[in-house]
A and B are shown apart, each in its own frame.
Chain A
Amino acid sequence: MSLVAKRYAQALFDTAVDKNIVDEVFDEFSTVIDLFKSEAELMDLMLTPSINNSEKKEILNRIYGEKSLNQYLRNFLDILLDRSRFEYVLEINETFRQLVFPYKNTVEAVVKTAVPLDETLRVALEKNLEKRFDKKVILDNQIDETIIGGAVVYVGDQIIDGSIRNQLNQMKTQMNSIRL
């Protein structure tokens, strides 16, 4: 993470804590970032030097209008534009998340499954992961057919592998270790 991203993320986090709007800012910032990630052209537009800041702010205003963003977050994004730091927005968001998670005693987890998790299973898994790690878990379900069946959970640097792929790999290791 760059120093710029760390500095801006820390400033946003401090303000959010101070104003007691951490959850709100976290959710809304994530929504905006998801939008920029999914709309690559929009991000390109925001980084195009030939478009002036007032036009870029107008674009943001439309988004703010649709998403009804928190005022502090809106101002923060405007400042990034004014100071020509918008290129760091994704990095700032990532750093901000890393600051928020310990503050909220939360951890991000990715669960890979061969078929999409339905809501019941997702909630059950979140609950059990929270019990296991003694933290609130934000679960992201990713589809990976190569695991064949079961699930693999990634939490930080920990991996909980309950996939058929893993069982097959273990079987392969055992079979290969048999001496002839």
Chain B
Amino acid sequence: METTGLISIDARVMIATLINFVIFFFIVKHFFYDAIKGIIAKRQDSITAEITGAEEKNVSAGQLKLEYEGLLADIKGKEREIIRDANAEAQAQRQAILDKAHTEAKGILDKANAEIELEKSKAMNEVKTNIVDLSLFAAEKIIHKEMDPKQHEAMILDFIDKVGEAK
């Protein structure tokens, strides 16, 4: 055997090793190749299935996303519609309340004015009645005082004439 330091090449060892390797290769191929291949194929199928599932899920998620986006758009549209309707209704209610308040205020004002006019008229009439009563009371007193027998007779004569004239 030839030695050259630490590493040396031995043809027999090399051949033995090669033969070992070939034997080992055939043994492994014979006993373990199908099993390993099956495991790999299974693993490959499993990975392929996972990838397909992931892709399907991805597609499904995409569809869901689209659906949700559609729904969201719908909801937003409806929300805007509701807000618009609510605003319109609130505006209408506000206007109605304002109109009612104006009408009521006008009614109260008109009523108050009418009452004032009525009270004013009543007071004026009362004053007028008092003036008339006082005037006639004074006139009655003066006439009473001024009436003498001649005037009584003249008045009665006048009355008698009128009784004779009218029928």
- Contact residues of A with B, CB < 8 Å? 113-115, 117-118, 121, 124-125, 127-129, 131-132, 148-151, 153, 160, 162, 164, 168, 171-172, 175-176, 178, 180
Contacts and interface: CB of A to CB of B under 8 A. Distances in A.
A168 B139 contact: yes
B163 A149 contact: no
Contacts of B125: 180
Contacts, number: 75
Given A172-B136, A176-B132, A180-B124, A131 B164 contact: yes
Q: Size class of B's contact patch?
A: 20 to 34
Given A131-B164, A150-B156, A176-B129, 13 more contacts: A113-B156, A114-B147, A118-B153, A128-B164, A132-B166, A148-B143, A149-B143, A149-B147, A149-B151, A150-B158, A150-B159, A175-B128, A180-B125
Nearest to B152: A115
A149 B167 contact: no
B55 to A, nearest CB: 102
B123 to A, nearest CB: 10
Contacts of A164: 143, 147, 155
A171 B140 CA distance: 12
B162 interface: yes
Contact of A168 (B124, B128, B136): B136
B128 A178 contact: yes
Interface string B86-125: 0000000000000000000000000000000000010011
B39 interface: no
Contacts of A121: 153, 156-157, 160
Given A115-B149, A148-B140, A149-B147, A175 B132 contact: yes
A125 B160 contact: yes
B151 A125 contact: no
Contacts of A149: 143, 147, 151-152, 155
B12 interface: no
A115 B140 CA distance: 16
